[in-house]
């Protein structure tokens, strides 16, 4: 059997070869139990958003019962060590009032003694804890604590390295996607612009022909069909221009709550009786600068997209909120500058999407619907309008668990003239609203 130092050396050599945190946790915990001679153990990593310590890997009796579960990060001995950043040896676990006894009840395991060490680089902040329980032979020694501290330090460095590498990989993928969408936008915008010029000529001459024809003549009907087709083609070019961010916007300082409230009646008609629409609007929502009509189009396109993802009915929720992006490395919106943003989210309980579908979601003409059931431009238009408004649109989805679209728009301060009208959104004229464009 290798010595403790040999085991730690082997761990150091192999740990940085892993690209998956769970694989790392498994190797670290097995080495720790082997070196220190403990019966069971676990590695818990912090989830900062949920403020939980998550059991990433567990060894011991009924370990599967704990795997993937979590505890509040300020509870138990693990929570105390996480916040203090100081390792602890607990010779009598059951007598320690901090002991989170629920874990013993869940597994049926009886914790007698334990060592808990924060997972942190030298001089760094803890990212979790490692705990080993029930020394197999003899008492816990000072050497056991020292060895576990070394293992924890190595593990923390490797885990943070892997997380940093994953962030860089995601940023690279996002940059590639952004560049692809930019190139597609330039191509679509150029084609749409030239095609629109040709359509203008076609429509002009067709109108002249119509004016010279007898309304009862068959040729008049043919000319009318030409006009109808030309108008539909013009609509498609307008949508492509929206995606390519070359349409002319009329931005105003507006409150998204007003746009949602004023659109609610027509949204209920659009989604039908099988879908339950609910709103959760932040009463202290900040203002944004955007084209009100185009933002109404964004809301309607997202809601129609959600409706189509729930053919058997379901729930559709529109929410608004304010968030602060501390730096440009935010995983939620990596292409935005730090600052305060107004959020608009549209969430459904529909079929959800896999990663491959999400990667193509905003591409023009991409659709998962049957031929003739959608143009594949609805979400492309959403993307173009939001980008042209200096915002970001994010999507989170899982097959069978619904989809949430979240739009980030920079919060702005109202000028003196804007303050008089910011709370007054333009009345919704049902005749003037554009037909929502169906997409995914």
Query: pLDDT value at position 435?
Result: 47
Residue 321 burial by Cβ neighbours in a 10 Å radius (0-12, 13-18, 19+):
middle
The set of long-range contacts for 365-371, using a CB threshold of 8 Å and a minimum separation of 24, is: 366/439, 366/440, 367/439, 367/440, 368/440, 369/308, 369/438, 369/440
Instruction: Give dist(CA 391, CA 395) in Å, integer.
Output: 14
Look at 267 and 196; give whichever has higher pLDDT: 267
pLDDT, tens only, 361-418: 777 666 666 555 555 667 877 888 888 888 999 999 988 889 999 999 999 987 644 5
Q: How confident is the model at residue 116 (pLDDT cuts 50, 70, 90)?
A: very high
pLDDT band of 174, cuts 50, 70, 90: low
| Dihedrals phi, psi of 147, to nearest 5 degrees | -65, -40
Q: Which of 107-111, 156-160, 185-189, 357-361 shows the lowest per-residue confidence on average (mean pLDDT)?
A: 185-189
For the ranges 116-130, 184-198, 303-317, the maximum mean pLDDT occurs at: 303-317
pLDDT recorded at residue 417? 47
- Record: fold of 252-421: Heat Shock Protein 90 (3.30.565)
Whether the pLDDT of residue 148 is over 80: the answer is: yes
> How far from the centroid of its chain's Cα atoms is residue 164's Cα?
18
Alpha helices in 213-335 (DSSP H): 218-243, 256-271, 292-308
Instruction: Answer yes or no: are the C-beta atoms of 344 and 407 closer than 8 Å.
Output: yes
**Which pLDDT value is given to residue 53?**
92
The reported pLDDT for the residue numbered 426 is 42
Rounded-to-integer distance, Cα 296 and Cα 261, Å: 10
Average pLDDT, the chain: 80
The residue-averaged pLDDT of 46-55 equals 89
State residue 183's pLDDT score.
63
Q: Mean of the pLDDT values across residues 140-156?
A: 85
| pLDDT band, residue 425 (cuts 50/70/90) | very low
Structure confidence by residue, pLDDT tens digits, 197-244: 677 777 788 888 888 888 888 888 888 888 888 777 776 666 666 555
Least confident residue range of 83-87, 107-111, 247-251? 247-251
Evaluate if residue 419 carries a pLDDT over 70. Answer: no
Task: Copy the structure tokens of residue 176.
Answer: 């590639």
Q: Residue 282 — very low, low, confident or very high, per pLDDT cuts 50/70/90?
A: very high
CB under 8 Å to 293, separation ≥6 — which residues? 250, 426, 434
Nearby residues of 316 by Cβ (< 8 Å), 6 or more positions away: 271, 275, 276, 277, 278, 303, 306, 307, 310, 346, 347, 348, 349
At 35, is the pLDDT very low, low, confident or very high (cuts 50, 70, 90)?
confident
Per-residue pLDDT, 202: 78
Query: Which segments within 293-366 are labelled E, that is strand?
Result: 314-325, 339-348
CATH architecture of the domain with range 4-168: 2-Layer Sandwich (3.30)
Up-side HSE of residue 329: CA atoms within 13 Å toward CB?
A: 5
Please name the helix (run of DSSP H) or strand (run of DSSP E) that holds residue 14, with its range, or none.
helix 4-15
Q: Is the pLDDT of residue 258 over 90?
A: yes
Phi-psi region of 429 (alpha: psi -120 to 50; beta: other; left: phi over 0): beta
Weakest-pLDDT range from 16-20, 325-329, 374-378: 374-378
**Helical segments of 20-133, H only:** 21-36, 76-84, 102-107
What is the rounded CA–CA span in Å between residue 151 and residue 59?
A: 16
pLDDT at 173 > cutoff 60: yes
Question: What is the per-residue pLDDT for 424?
Answer: 43
């Amino acid at each position: 059997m290798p010595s403790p130092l040999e085991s730690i050396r082997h761990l150091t050599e192999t740990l940085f070869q892993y690209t998956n945190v769970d694989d790392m946790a498994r190797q670290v915990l097995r080495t720790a139990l082997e070196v220190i001679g403990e019966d069971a153990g676990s590695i818990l990593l912090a989830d900062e958003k949920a403020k939980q310590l998550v059991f990433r890997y567990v060894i011991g009796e009924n370990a599967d019962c704990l795997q993937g579960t979590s505890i509040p990060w300020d509870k138990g001995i693990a929570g105390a060590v996480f916040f203090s950043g100081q390792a602890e040896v607990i010779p009598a676990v059951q007598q320690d009032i901090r002991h989170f006894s629920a874990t013993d009840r869940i597994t049926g395991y009886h914790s007698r003694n334990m060592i808990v060490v924060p997972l942190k680089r030298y001089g760094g902040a803890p990212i979790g804890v490692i705990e080993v329980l029930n020394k197999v032979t003899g008492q816990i020694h000072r050497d056991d604590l020292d060895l576990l501290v070394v293992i924890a330090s190595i593990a923390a460095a490797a885990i943070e390295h892997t997380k940093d590498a994953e962030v860089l990989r995601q940023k690279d993928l996002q940059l590639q996607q952004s560049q692809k969408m930019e190139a597609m936008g330039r191509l679509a915008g150029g084609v749409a612009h030239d095609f629109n010029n040709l359509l203008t000529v076609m429509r002009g001459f067709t109108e002249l022909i119509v004016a010279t024809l007898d309304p009862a003549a068959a040729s008049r009907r043919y000319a009318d069909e030409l006009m109808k087709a030309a108008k539909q083609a013009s609509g498609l070019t307008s949508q492509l221009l929206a995606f390519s961010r070359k349409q002319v916007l009329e931005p105003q300082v507006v409150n998204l709550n007003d746009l949602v409230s004023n659109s609610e009646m027509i949204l209920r008609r659009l989604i039908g009786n099988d879908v339950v629409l609910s709103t959760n609007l932040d009463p202290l929502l900040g203002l944004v600068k955007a084209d009100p009509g185009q933002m109404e189009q964004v809301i309607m396109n997202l809601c129609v997209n959600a409706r189509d993802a729930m053919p058997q009915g379901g729930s559709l929720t529109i929410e608004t909120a304010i968030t602060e992006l501390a730096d440009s490395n935010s995983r939620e919106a990596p292409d935005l500058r730090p600052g305060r943003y107004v959020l608009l989210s549209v969430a459904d309980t529909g079929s959800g999407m896999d990663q491959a579908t999400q990667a193509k979601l905003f591409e023009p003409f991409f659709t998962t619907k049957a031929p003739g059931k959608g143009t594949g431009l609805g979400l492309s238009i959403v993307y173009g309008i939001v980008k042209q408004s200096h915002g970001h649109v994010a999507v989170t989805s899982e097959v069978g668990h619904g989809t949430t679209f979240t739009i980030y728009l920079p919060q702005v301060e109202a000028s003196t003239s804007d303050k008089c009208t910011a709370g007054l959104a333009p009345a919704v004229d049902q005749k003037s609203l554009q037909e929502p464009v169906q997409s995914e």
